[in-house]
Chains A and B, each alone.
Chain A
């Protein structure tokens, strides 16, 4: 997994790339969680994520819940077909913010 963070005012945009599995979840959390603390809104751009497993989905849930607790927002953007399929399999399409 690789990533790039860009800023747009009070929004951080994290562009994730590659495969997100158990091996990279800690790294993903280290990237995303401080941004949630620092900004009002974090966008996770998942266009280039070709694979995500249950560990990756856990990172999305954790990010969403942390943002909610802090009165902030995490929005999933440009979700790739394969990631959307896993989100729907987990029945999270109504829970997570899909933008």
Chain B
């Protein structure tokens, strides 16, 4: 298999916790095409799954829906960009923060993991039909 240096792949998923395994499968499939070490691939899959989980938990507050979210993974000249698009409640960036890491209690770790793994996390208003557009970026050395 030839490792790719440029990638742009996207897929839709029903907004549901049951979709998270499919989100991971998609992410793993994409990163299999890139020559980066397995530890980094695992971290990126975790960051993507945590962001998708946040859409299910927060943008949709765990409600059942037929809505889909879209995830787009792009790699260009060592710049990895992962876009998340959803039609849930608008995300107020001020409310997106992880709990203090030494305040040990269940919950609030997903955002911390994303910030640990990625270089930048940017929230944007989605262009129609989307409401939210989250962008995670990371410089990849390969």
Q: Which residues of A contact B (CB under 8 A)?
A: 19, 21-23, 51, 53-55, 57-59, 61-62, 65, 82, 85-86, 89-92, 95
Pick the residue among B18, B46, B102, B110 that contacts A23 (CB under 8 A).
B18
Pick the residue among A19, A53, A59, A92 that contacts B110 (CB under 8 A).
A53
Where chain A touches its partner, the secondary structure class is: helix
Residues of chain B within 8 A (CB-CB) of A58 are 106-107, 109
Residues of chain A within 8 A (CB-CB) of B106 are 58-59, 61-62, 65
Q: Closest CB-CB distance, B8 to chain A, in whole Å?
A: 25
Decide if B42 is an interface residue (CB 8 Å cutoff). yes
Separation of A65 and B104 alpha carbons in the complex (Å)? 9
Residues of chain A within 8 A (CB-CB) of B112 are 54, 90
Are A86 and B104 touching (Cβ within 8 A)?
A: no
Q: Kindly count the residue-residue contacts between A and B in the assembled complex, taking CB atoms under 8 Å apart.
A: 62
Q: Closest CB-CB distance, A63 to chain B, in whole Å?
A: 10
Closest to B39 in A: A85
Pick the residue among B18, B21, B50, B101 that contacts A19 (CB under 8 A).
B21
Q: Closest CB-CB distance, A97 to chain B, in whole Å?
A: 13
Closest to B102 in A: A91
Q: A58-B109, A92-B104 are in contact. List 19 more A-B contacts (CB 8 A).
A: A21-B53, A22-B17, A22-B56, A22-B57, A23-B18, A23-B20, A51-B45, A53-B50, A53-B110, A53-B113, A54-B53, A54-B113, A58-B106, A59-B106, A61-B104, A61-B105, A82-B42, A85-B42, A90-B101
